[in-house]
Structure 1
């Protein structure tokens, strides 16, 4: 059975085998990460075509006799200040990943952390009084290297105040906002018991997934 280190002392926390013992599926994880990152793109880049650029209504010079190339408009794409050909237009980048595929990718991301031993559980009650020093000591005592993702329950937002300014902390987010990209983008994951239960429920399909997941 997979397990996670208990940073509060005591025995390691046993993890659900369905949620944390899945075989890593690289293609599904890649597709889910692409979908999540694409959904965050604004897609507001826009350029004007020659028909939208102001001016250029009159022919710059007569067709023949000037010795210059023929020109019908000063807003031609080959002119400075002219329109853009095939430039970016407002669009959306989102694409659909099936719910079962997203869930399988989510299990893969959780399982890879369980397999590597890069996931741990801590007691959030120790941070009812905000203390960045205590949070730094907790992480240092864990002894891991690399970026760190802190996952909390929705009602534990106060705990985030102790961790958010630590060096190496990639993000401090509630379970409802955790996506596959967040999990695979962090070298280590630190979760509260409540967050662990919610992540397990999401991975097993016992809790409704967020659109971003």
Structure 2
């Protein structure tokens, strides 16, 4: 069973966490990863590039010169493609680029990416990820204490939005914060390290291991947090 070290905000190893074999211990499927990444990048394209044909450009209603007697090629309009300011031949036209991928393949790709992070010791689990106030210096101090090498891209995934963490990270070019419900293969592969609090790990295991929906997992975690606070 895969496992990883749990760190506190001071960068100290405080616990050992066993991860779900079904989510964090699968053999990465490179073919599925490639297909999902390609589809995700293709789906980002707007598909609104457009050029005008000779029937759409303005002008050209009058015949430029008479049909015969000039020694030149016959022309009917100055908006033909061979003329300056003429229409474009076979130019781009608006069309959708959408590439659909089955849900099972998308989930397999995410499990493959997460398993690769665990295998390469690029998944950093923290007991809690929060700041008392928005301050970039505090976030830089935190990242320097965690086992992520300087100059590497770091992705922090939160179980719920924390404004202090978001504001403290937005001026750090090599770090990014996103909600765990926005998890995707491109961001996982693009960043060298992924930092997750324990609640994020729990959410991922419920969604990609137990098969719960994102909403069900969020409600369940919120209930567990509320129950723990009431007991305390």
Q: Same fold (TM over 0.5)?
A: yes
Q: Residues 63-142 of structure 1 correspond to what in structure 2 (within 5 A)?
A: 63-124=67-128, 126-142=130-146
CA-to-aligned-CA distance 1:137-158 (integer Å, 9 cap, x gap)? 2211223232111111134344
- Using the TM superposition, give the Cα deviation of residue 64 of structure 1 relative to its aligned residue in structure 2, in angstroms: 1.6
* CA separation of 1:91 and 1:167: change in aligned 2, threshold 3 A: same
Which residue matches 1:166? 172
Q: 1:4 to 1:164 in 2, by over 3 A?
A: farther
Residues 1:25 and 2:18 aligned together: no
TM-score by length of 1: 0.90
> CA separation in 2, counterparts of 1:53 and 1:207?
54
Give the secondary-structure state (helix, strand or coil) at the position aligned to 1:149: strand
**Aligned CA distance change for structure 1 residues 179 and 91 (closer, same or farther; 3 Å):** same
- Number of the residue aligned with 1:56: 60
How far did residue 129 of structure 1 move? 2.6
Relative to the length of structure 2, the TM-score reads 0.83
Question: 1:11: which partner in 2?
Answer: 15
Shift of 1:54: 1.1
Structure 2 segments unaligned to the other structure (5+ residues)? 216-232
| Farther off after superposition, 24-33 or 132-141 | 132-141
User: How many residues were matched structurally?
Assistant: 209
Query: Which segment is superposed worse, 8-17 or 117-126?
Result: 117-126
CA RMSD in angstroms comes to: 1.9
Which of structure 1's runs of 4+ aligned residues deviate more than 4 A?
Answer: none
Q: Classify 1:48/1:126 alpha carbon distance in 2 versus 1 (closer, same or farther; 3 Å).
A: closer
Q: In 2, distance between residues paired with 1:80 and 1:66?
A: 20
Deviation at 1:122, TM superposition (A): 2.0
Match of 1:40 in 2: 44
Residue matched to 2:198: 193
Give the Å deviation of 1:209.
6.2
Alignment partners' CA distance in 1, 2:117 and 2:42: 24
* Structure 1: gaps (5+ residues): none
Structure scoring higher RCO (CA < 8 A, sep ≥ 6) equals 1
Distance 1:167 1:59, change over 3 A: closer
CA distance in 1, matches of 2:45, 2:5: 36
CA spacing shift, 1:161–1:12, aligned 2, 3 Å: farther
| Counterpart-to-counterpart distance in 2, 1:18 and 1:31 | 21
The equivalent of 2:2 in structure 1 is 2
Q: Conserved in 2, the CA contact under 8 Å of 1:124 and 1:156?
A: no
8 A contact 1:174–1:195 mirrored in 2: no
